Every structure is written in structure tokens, then in C-alpha cells.
Amino acid sequence: MSGGSYYVPDQSRFPIFMAFSLFVLVMGASSTINNLDNPESNSVYILYSGFACLFLTMFFWFRQVIKEHLAGLDSNQLKQSYVYGMAWFIFSEVMFFAAFFGALFYVRTFAVPWLAGDGAKGDAITAIELWQGFESTWPVITTPDQGSEYVLAEKSMAWPGWDHALKWLPLWNTIVLLSSSVTVHIAHLALKNGNRKKFNTMLGVTVGLALIFVGLQAAEYYEAYAHYGLTLNSGIYGSTFFMLTGFHGFHVMMGGFMLAVMLARSVFAGHFEEHDHFGFEAASWYWHFVDVVWVMLFLFVYIL
């Protein structure tokens, strides 16, 4: 603790700007979504301005925090607060994914078998009357309504067997993302050892791998939509598949963006010291978290 006294930041206008940006953003998002089939709606511009305000506020807010840090205003106590804060933020993200994994486990273990007539007598009767001929399989390709409300896919994203393994994108995605976790760790070690050049290189490689991952994921989505007929509209398998991988992909983009910012800070501004680099470390934690989520996805969405 520097000098034994506490540090309290001065008034700041960033928070309320950010709250206002969020307000514009959610108003824009709600009215855009409510007007999706109305071509004359201009709500999307409210959404865009919300995003613009949010990014601008975050840019200036983070810039201020970095400036204060470089000016030596942060006490050790405040630095520790950032560490705890980031850890708990990641915990909240874990719980967000837990909701979607919970949904996946629930439909796989209970809902789909029950719809096919499994379970206690009452369920079986309902299922036979309502959804004649529906059979419990996972992935669910033929939905209980046999495609009258939902559009049936032709093929799922599940494990294609050893013969086709090398052409299977999720395997490559796993390799890419796991390696990126290793490279970001090597970058971290390099930074701790004061090897700036290696740090920049390995961090650059990590950002590159992140981009490759997002590219492969986009290719996979294209394949799903264009060739497999697998969409958000193809029943519970499509729902869980796209929501889980989609939110994960979104987190990869955020984490990759954070790492790219850290790379730019290191390359262009020479930020981060051997023993003082929590900005980078927080981004790398986030990256490892995203990686762990992928491993879970790979297991429970693709393989099992």
C-alpha cells in the first residue's frame, strides 16, 4: 500500500456515459428486433449509435485507467482489487455458460427421451398421442413435429468417425484453440523474463490463432447453413448447437480483441513491465477461460 493511505479516484463522467450508452443500445436492440420484418424501420441506427457510444466510452475509460496506472497512482491495494474483480467477472461468465450447458444436459437427458414416450406412464401416453413416431436420438434431426413447425436439417455436426476425422473442422478448431492457450502462456513467461520480443511474437501468434479459429467457425456455420440445412430453426439440436458455439465464438472474439489491444499496447506504446502487467494477465485469464469452455463444448456438443 503506497504511503499507507488509501486512493480514491476523483469524480468521473465515464460511468454515466456508459449507462446512457447501454440505454441507447438496449432501446435500439429491442426496437430493431421487434421491427425485423418491417423494412421501413430505422431503429437499427439507434442500435448502431448505442454501440458507437459504448465503444467510445470504454475506449476513453480504459485510456484513463491506463494513464493513471502509468502515472503511478494505483496503490498495491487497488491493483489487487483489479485482480479479484477480474476473477469474479470470469466466474460470472462461467455461470452464464452453465445456463446453456444446463439446458443442453436437460434436453438430452430428460426432455427428448420423454417426448419419445420414455419415462412414467403419463408421459408416454402424452408423447404417443402428440408426437407419433418421434424417436429419441441425439443429435435430434427429426423434430417431434416432423418438421411442420421447424425446418429439418439433413445432417448434424457430430463426430463423423475416424475415417473423416481430418476433414472435420471442430477437431482443427480444438487444435487451434488449445495451441493458442499454450502460446499465450509462453508469451506470459517471456514477459516475466523480460523478453519483450518473444512476448510480442507469441502474443501475435495467439491473436493470429484466434483469427483462424473465428474463420474456421465461420466456415463451419456456412457449411451448416448452406450444406447441412442445420440452422437456428432446426429444432433443439440446432438451438443448443448454435447458441453454445455462438456465444463461445462471441467470447473468442472479445478475448481475441482484448489480446490484440494488449499486443498493440506492447508494440506501439511499450506498456507492461516484468512484474506489473495485470492488463495483459487479465486478458490471458480470459483467454484460458474461453479455451476451457471450448473443451467442454467439444466434449458435450460435438463428441458425446
Partner 1 sequence: MSAVIENHHDDHHHGPAKGITRWLYTTNHKDIGTLYLWFSFAMFLIGGAMAMVIRAELFQPGMQIVEPEFYNQMITLHGLIMIFGGVMPAFVGLANWLVPMMIGAPDMALPRMNNLSFWILPFAFFVLLSSLFMEGGAPNFGWTFYAPLSTTYAPPSVTFFIFSVHIMGASSIMGSINVVVTIMNMRAPGITLMKMPLFVWSWLITAYLLIAVMPVLAGAVTMMLMDIHFGTSFFNAAGGGDPVLFQHIFWFFGHPEVYIMILPAFGIVSHIIETFSRKQLFGYSSMVWAMLSIAILSFVVWAHHMFTVGMPLAAEIFFMWATMLIAVPTGVKVFNWVATMFRGSITFETPMLFAVSFVVLFTIGGLSGLMLAIVPADFQYHDTYFVVAHFHYVLVPGAIFSIMAAVYYWIPKWCGNMYDERLGKLHFWLSFIGVNVTFFPQHFIGLAGMPRRYPDYALQFADWNMVSSVGAFLFGFSQLLFLFIVIKTVMGGKKATSKVWEGAKGLEWTVASPAPYHTFSTPPKVD
If one asks whether residue 227 binds partner 1 (CB under 8 A), the answer comes out as no
CA separation for the pair 286, 201 (Å, rounded): 19
| Interacting span for partner 1 (CB under 8 A) from 169-177, 226-234, 249-257, 277-285 | 226-234
62-81 residues in contact with partner 1 (CB under 8 A) are: 63-64, 67-68, 71, 73, 77-78, 80-81
Q: What angle do CA 280, 285, 287 make, to 5 degrees?
A: 95
Q: How far is the CB of 11 from partner 1 (least distance, A)?
A: 4
Per CB under 8 A, the list member of 61, 159, 172, 228 interacting with partner 1 is: 61
Contact 87, 110 (CB under 8 A): no
Q: Which is nearer to partner 1, 104 or 184 (CB)?
A: 104
Q: Which of 116, 95, 93 is nearest to 236 (CA)?
A: 116
Report how far residue 303's alpha carbon sits from residue 248's, in angstroms, rounded to the nearest whole number. Answer: 17
Q: How far is the CB of 152 from partner 1 (least distance, A)?
A: 10
Q: For residues 80-119, which are near partner 1 according to CB under 8 A?
A: 80-81, 84-85, 88-89, 91-93, 95-96, 98-100, 102-103, 106-107, 110-112, 114-115, 119
Q: Which three cell numbers stand for residue 215?
A: 474463420
236 is a contact residue toward partner 1 (CB under 8 A): yes
Cβ neighbors of 163 (< 8 A, separation 6 or more) are none
Q: Is 250 in the site for partner 1 (CB under 8 A)?
A: no
**Closest of 188, 172, 207 to residue 280, by C-alpha:** 188
**Using the rule CB under 8 A, is 221 a contact of partner 1?**
no
Residue type for 191, please?
Answer: L
